[in-house]
């Protein structure tokens, strides 16, 4: 039985299931793993770790990618 947890993804609070991995979250959000970087509680993850790292209650996940930009 998977329990409901609350996490923050890209600054937004979301209900999620415990016992799942970062890879599961990306799949659920329909995000391809190539060309994204994932930061879990300020730790940048290796892409190879997406399938192993469990998501826990209160986790803060940042999913980053490239967008158009020159300078700012």
1 binds other proteins, rule: CB under 8 A = no
User: Does 66 help bind other proteins (rule: CB under 8 A)?
Assistant: yes
**DSSP tag of 57:** T
The residue from 12, 13, 15, 48 that contacts other proteins (CB under 8 A) is 12
Taking CB under 8 A as the rule, does residue 41 contact other proteins?
no
In the bound complex, what is the minimum distance in angstroms from residue 21's beta carbon to other proteins?
A: 17
Q: How far is the CB of 54 from other proteins (least distance, A)?
A: 19
Q: With contact defined as beta carbons under 8 Å apart, do 53 and 20 qualify?
A: no
Q: CA nearest 12: which of 25, 24, 1, 3?
A: 25
Cα-based angle 54, 59, 61 (whole degrees, multiple of 5): 90
């Amino acid at each position: 039985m998977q329990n409901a947890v609350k996490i923050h993804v890209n600054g937004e609070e979301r209900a999620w299931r415990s016992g799942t991995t970062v890879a599961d979250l990306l799949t659920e959000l329909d995000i391809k793993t190539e060309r994204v970087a994932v930061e879990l509680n300020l730790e940048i993850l290796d892409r190879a770790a997406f399938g192993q790292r469990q998501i826990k209650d209160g986790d803060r996940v940042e999913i980053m990618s490239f967008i158009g930009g020159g300078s700012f």
